[in-house]
Amino acid sequence: MKTTIIGGGLAGLTAAALLARAGRQVTLYEKSHLGGRARTVASHGALFNEGPHALYRAGHGMKVLRRLGIEPEGGVPALSGNLAWHQGRLHALPVGVVSLLSTSLLSAADKLAVAPLLARLDAPEGTLEEWLCRTVRSDTARDFLRATFRVATYANDPALSARAAVRQLKLALKANVLYLDRGWQSLVDALREKAAAAGARIVEHERVDTLPGGDVILAVSPQAATGLTGAAFDVRPVRAACLDLALAALPQPRRSFALGIDRPLYFSVHSRAAKVAQRDGLHVIHVAKYLGPDDAGAAALPELEALCDAMQPGWRAHVAARRFLPEMVVSNAVVTPQGRPAIDAVPGVLLAGDWVGPEGMLADAALASAQAAAERVLERSMKAVA
């Protein structure tokens, strides 16, 4: 009835909470701090996530959290007034029928091409890039659709599965996303509390270099899983370069969100929707470049600052805190048409994380694979007892 979990990110904590609630004796080992890329850092009154984070309200992750009795608190970012950054100019970002018809970003022909495609959103085969090139003739319309899928998937990779990207965009369109109050650390803390309350033993700052006996769940990166098992995984990470800012004032208060169209850029004032500022008058902003497979993140800073110049002219005079993360791993595996490793891809252990299993992307994948791994452990227990 003992289970060892290696890795204390969202997946490891979720598996620990589910198994401990089911009566298993659970020990979780984390080599550093709990939370992994879901940790939040306080800086000069700002709560910085590891770049822009959003929880999909209609995703599988919310179902798992509610099963554990966790209801994340936060706000839904507004859709009105959002902007598109294209060829050095700002336009209204199409987010619905009215804004699609009125925006200066797209020509009349582009609008006629984009509208039925977004309304239909079928589930094509192959990669997203192949599908867009096959379906849309206009360069600007294709760029707009690429940007729309980028913001939903966080991925800028030609190998991205079209089917998975469409599924993710549908989640975003169905119920939008949630920016979490107190940052994603609030979610880490809630999962830890649920696991500990159910009896799980949680050990931080202890590295595990060899696999223990019994049931083992590896909720670690592909590289760490390779080091522990010797198995190789054919995955490529999703990366972003991130500029995190806290401003004492917004020179343009109404400009809170922008999406790059011809460049893979993102700008969002997260404190507009969520409580991530620890003092009044502070504005927490995440700016990012979705990196392609061959992009160097360190070179992205001038582009990120240029987008800030367009959105908030004179912002440098109001900086209370800033941080540049040139090579942030958003997810450990882009979802290709071939899929991701299964939870039982390595004999003798179970895998969990945002790079494992067929369900969802990002945090949804981490929580869904953790649930699947926990259920597999419990199934084995029942068979052993029988």
CB proximity list for 263: less than 8 A, separation 6 or greater: 85, 289, 303
Question: Average pLDDT in the 130-159 region?
Answer: 95
What is residue 374's predicted lDDT score, i.e. its pLDDT? 98
Confidence class for position 119, pLDDT limits 50, 70, 90: confident
| Interval 286-324: pLDDT, tens | 999 999 999 999 999 999 999 999 999 999 999 999 999
Cα separation of 236 and 134, whole Å? 25
Question: Average pLDDT in the 145-169 region?
Answer: 96
Q: Kindly give the pairing relationship between strand 83-86 and strand 89-92.
A: antiparallel
**Nearest Cα residue to 19 out of 228, 208, 220, 202:** 202
Q: What is the pTM of this model?
A: 0.95
**Nearest Cα residue to 187 out of 36, 78, 375, 3:** 36
Q: Is the pLDDT of residue 128 over 70?
A: yes
| Interval 336-364: pLDDT, tens | 999 999 999 999 999 999 999 999 999 99
Polymer length of the chain = 386
Structure token digits, residue 306: 């240029």
* Sheet order of strands, 215-218 included: 201-204, 25-30, 2-6, 215-218, 350-351
Structural domains of the chain, ranges and CATH numbers in brackets: 2-38+184-235+334-385 (3.50.50.60), 94-174 (1.10.405)
* Nearest-10 Cα torsion for 201, 328, 147, 285: 90
Structure token digits, residue 64: 């798992």
Percentages helix, strand, coil for the chain, rounded to the nearest 5?
Answer: 40, 25, 40
Please name the amino acid found at residue 238. Answer: V
Phi-psi group of 220: left, alpha or beta (phi > 0 → left; psi -120 to 50 → alpha; rest → beta):
beta
Query: Which of 156-165, 300-309, 376-385 shows the lowest mean pLDDT across its residues?
Result: 376-385
What is residue 95's predicted lDDT score, i.e. its pLDDT? 85
Cα separation of 97 and 350, whole Å? 45
Cα separation of 285 and 243, whole Å? 8
**Strand intervals (E) in 248-311:** 257-260, 265-269, 283-291
Question: Average pLDDT in the 146-171 region?
Answer: 96
**Strand intervals (E) in 308-358:** 319-331, 350-351
Cα separation of 23 and 381, whole Å? 11
What is residue 349's predicted lDDT score, i.e. its pLDDT? 97
Cα separation of 167 and 169, whole Å? 6
Structure token digits, residue 18: 């589910």
Q: Which helix (H) or strand (E) holds 25?
A: strand 25-30
Question: Mind giving me the DSSP string for 124-188?
Answer: -SSBHHHHHHHH---HHHHHHHHHHHHHHH----TT-BHHHHHHHHHHHHHH-EEEETT-THHHH
Confidence class for position 386, pLDDT limits 50, 70, 90: low
| Interval 49-103: pLDDT, tens | 999 999 999 999 999 999 999 999 999 999 888 999 999 999 999 987 778 888 9
φ, ψ for residue 87, nearest 5 deg:
50, 40
